[in-house]
C-alpha cells in the first residue's frame, strides 16, 4: 500500500466523516456481515482503495474479496463479503464505493474501447484529463481495462502542442529547444495537418507524432507518410462510434480523454446480510 494511496483515501474519509458520523452513532454496537454487489456488468478496479477505506475506519473489519482488479463481473455478482462493526462498515461505505465505482467505470470504458480496436495493432492511450487527485488511480484503472498510460504529467515527457509551437515561432524552433534542454525525455509533437507532419518527419530526436483532429482520409495519408519513420498517435473527438475507423487507418496509438472524464459510475451497493 503506497503512501499516496493512504493519503488519498484518508482525505476522502476526512471529507465525508468530518467530526464524526452522527447517523452511525445511533446504531447498536453490533458485529454484522455484509456484501458489496455489482448491479451491472463491469470491469472491476479500485479494490485497494475500497479496502483501505474500511480498514482506516476500523482495522478489525474482515474483508474477503472474491474477484481481482481487472476481472469482468456480471449483474448481481458479489464482489466481497465483510464482517465487523456495523458502525465502521456504514461509516466507510460511501467512500469505499465511490473509489470502487469510479475506477471500475474507467476500467470498464477502457475495456469497451480496447475491444473495438482489438482487430488492429493500435493501442489505446489515456490522457491527463483525469479527476483531480485521482491521476494515479485512474491511470491504474486504464491498465486494468487493457489500455496503456500516456505521460503521467507535465514532468516526464515533452509534448509540444499548438500553443507551444506558436509561442516558439515554428515547429523546428520548438523541437530544437526541447532537445537541447531535455535530451533524455521522450518528445511528442502534435501536428494539425499533413504539411506539419512532413515538417516533423524531417526532424530528428522525436519519439512520436500526435495527429490532432485528422479526418480518416488524412490519417490514412499520414500513416503512409510516416511508415518506417515515426509512430503515430491519433487524438481529438474520438469516441465509440469512430474509434474502429481510426484504428483501421493503421495508426499506432489512439488517445482519448473519454475513458477518464466521460464516465458513468458503476452501480454498486453494500447490503447487510
Q: Known catalytic residue: 190?
A: yes
Question: Which residue of the set 21, 69, 126, 212 is catalytic?
Answer: 212
229 classed as catalytic: no
Q: Which of 21, 93, 126, 190 is catalytic?
A: 190
| Active-site hit among 128, 161, 176, 177 | 161
Where residue 166 falls (left for φ over 0; alpha for ψ -120 to 50; beta otherwise) is alpha
129 is catalytic: yes
Q: Is 208 in contact with 231 (CB distance < 8 Å)?
A: yes
- Active-site residue identified among 129, 135, 143, 177: 129
Q: How many CB atoms lie within 10 A of CB 160?
A: 22
| Catalytic pick among 40, 71, 94, 177 | 94
**232, HSE (Cβ side, Cα atoms, 13 Å):** 33
Dihedral (CA of 79, 83, 84, 87) sign: positive
Q: Reply yes or no on whether 162 is catalytic.
A: no
- Report d(CA 38, CA 71) in Å as an integer: 12
Which residues are known to be catalytic?
94, 129, 161, 190, 212
Amino acid at each position: 500500500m503506497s503512501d499516496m494511496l493512504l493519503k488519498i483515501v484518508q482525505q476522502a474519509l476526512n471529507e465525508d466523516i468530518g467530526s464524526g458520523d452522527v447517523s452511525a452513532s445511533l446504531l447498536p454496537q453490533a458485529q454484522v456481515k455484509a456484501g458489496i454487489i455489482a448491479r451491472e456488468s463491469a470491469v472491476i478496479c479500485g479494490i485497494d482503495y475500497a479496502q483501505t477505506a474500511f480498514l482506516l475506519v476500523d482495522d478489525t473489519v474482515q474483508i474477503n474479496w472474491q474477484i481481482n482488479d481487472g476481472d469482468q463481473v456480471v449483474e448481481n455478482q458479489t464482489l466481497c463479503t465483510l464482517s465487523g462493526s456495523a458502525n465502521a462498515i456504514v461509516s466507510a461505505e460511501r467512500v469505499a464505493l465511490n473509489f470502487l465505482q469510479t475506477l471500475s467505470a474507467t476500467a470498464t470504458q477502457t475495456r469497451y474501447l480496447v475491444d473495438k480496436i482489438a482487430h488492429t495493432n493500435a493501442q489505446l492511450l489515456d490522457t491527463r484529463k483525469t479527476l483531480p487527485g485521482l491521476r494515479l488511480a485512474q491511470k491504474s484503472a486504464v491498465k486494468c481495462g487493457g489500455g496503456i498510460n500516456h505521460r503521467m504529467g507535465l514532468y516526464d515527457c515533452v509534448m509540444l502542442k499548438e500553443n507551444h509551437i506558436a509561442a516558439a515561432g515554428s515547429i523546428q524552433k520548438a523541437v530544437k529547444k526541447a532537445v537541447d534542454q531535455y535530451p533524455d525525455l521522450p518528445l511528442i509533437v502534435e501536428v494539425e495537418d499533413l504539411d506539419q507532419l512532413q515538417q516533423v518527419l524531417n526532424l530528428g530526436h522525436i519519439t512520436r507524432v500526435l495527429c490532432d483532429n485528422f479526418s480518416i482520409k488524412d490519417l490514412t495519408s499520414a500513416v503512409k507518410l510516416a511508415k518506417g519513420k515515426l509512430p503515430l498517435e491519433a487524438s481529438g473527438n474520438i469516441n465509440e462510434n469512430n474509434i474502429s475507423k481510426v484504428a483501421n487507418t493503421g495508426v499506432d496509438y489512439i488517445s482519448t480523454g473519454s475513458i477518464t472524464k466521460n464516465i458513468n459510475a458503476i452501480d454498486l451497493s453494500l447490503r447487510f446480510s
